[in-house]
């Protein structure tokens, strides 16, 4: 939410420049800032999604292992791991907004 506000504010500042050819330094500065900010947002979202996807695959990976051949105590622990892995991991901001 905050990042959308920053991107919009940067866009408004870019549009507020009257003569883009005369104020080339400001244009380059705003475009560089916007590109860096978007890159930071992309990396946060990409790696957050990667954690989510890999955590959803965890239960399947553990289930496909040869856990039925293990001792009884170990099988109980594997069942607990499978049950807990049913809920995917999410990285959240302030425990409110998933990234």
Return the pLDDT at 78: 93
> What whole-number distance in Å separates Cα of residue 34 and Cα of residue 28?
10
Return the pLDDT at 13: 83
pLDDT tens digits in sequence order for the chain, 99 residues long: 677 788 888 888 878 887 777 778 888 888 898 899 889 889 988 988 899 899 889 999 999 999 889 999 999 999 999 999 988 888 887 777 777
Return the pLDDT at 31: 87
What pTM does this model have?
0.65
Helices (H), the chain: 2-16, 24-64, 72-84
């Amino acid at each position: 939410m905050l990042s959308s506000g920053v991107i919009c504010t940067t866009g408004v500042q870019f549009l507020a420049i009257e003569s883009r050819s005369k104020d080339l330094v400001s244009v380059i500065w705003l475009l560089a800032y916007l590109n860096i900010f978007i890159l930071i947002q992309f990396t946060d979202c990409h790696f957050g999604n990667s954690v989510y996807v890999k955590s959803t695959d965890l239960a399947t990976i553990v289930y496909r292992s040869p856990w039925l051949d293990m001792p009884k105590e170990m099988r109980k622990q594997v069942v607990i791991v499978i049950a807990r892995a049913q809920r995917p991991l999410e990285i959240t901001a302030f425990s409110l907004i998933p990234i």
